[in-house]
Amino acid sequence: MSLPSALELVAKAPVVPVVVIEQVEDAIPLARALVEGGLPLIEVTLRTPVALEAIRMIAAEVEGAIVGAGTVIDRAQIEASLEAGATFLVSPGTTPSLAEAFAQTPIPVMAGCATASEAMRLAELGFEILKFFPAEASGGAPFLKSIAGPLPHLRFCPTGGIGPANASDYLALPNVVAVGGSWVVPADAIRAGDFGKVRVLAAGAAGLKRAAKFG
């Protein structure tokens, strides 16, 4: 059975939750709340000591979850994420050496970029979907709209500064296949164990409409 492509993965939901897990015991109930809310694609950022163990637990125990590793910045993190069971990788930016390492990775990758030139180069290397980061600080939806005409083959998952107030602005663009965001996993709700709130926020995000065509 062939592995899904990055495009096939993001087609499952318009929002990719960007998750920071501080306590490993939060991993499973948090992931279950997201899946139940309609957001199966979960990016666990490698920003905490328990991130890899959280990925391992979610991959093994949460039915329906498609868990990936975010904030991947070097080859060692790629290898550790694969060992933990990550099914996709996301980077905030992409150096030449990281792009080379990603090219040898057997799972989908959303490589990070912030400019048109970076995006064009990554597309030439075969990356199907690019993480536009930090989205709001790098020109936001107006930037992506402006390059959709001259560069219609590029497809993005913007992340950074996106929330319920502006997510629809991004998703209305034909070159945006999904958005990444942390608003569906607020830190205060996680600390309080209020995974019901996460489920409600996820359901709202899962219902957002997008203009991008798939396939």
Q: Could you say which of 36, 63, 131, 145 is catalytic? A: 131
Calculated CA dihedral for residues 6, 11, 17, 18, nearest 10 degrees: 20
CB atoms within 10 A of CB 123: 18
CA-to-CA distance for 109 and 90, rounded, in angstroms?
Answer: 6
Tokens of 140: 């936001």
Tokens of 44: 């666990």
Indicate which residue of 8, 36, 43, 100 is catalytic. 43
Is 83 among the residues known to form the active site?
no
Planar angle of CA 62, 60, 54, nearest 5 degrees: 80
Residues 91, 109: contact at Cβ < 8 Å? yes
Calculated CA dihedral for residues 46, 47, 53, 56, nearest 10 degrees? -30
Task: Evaluate whether 176 touches 157 at the Cβ level (below 8 Å).
Answer: yes
* 131 has catalytic annotation: yes
CA neighbor of 162 nearest in space, from 153, 148, 173: 173
Q: Write out the catalytic residue numbers.
A: 43, 131
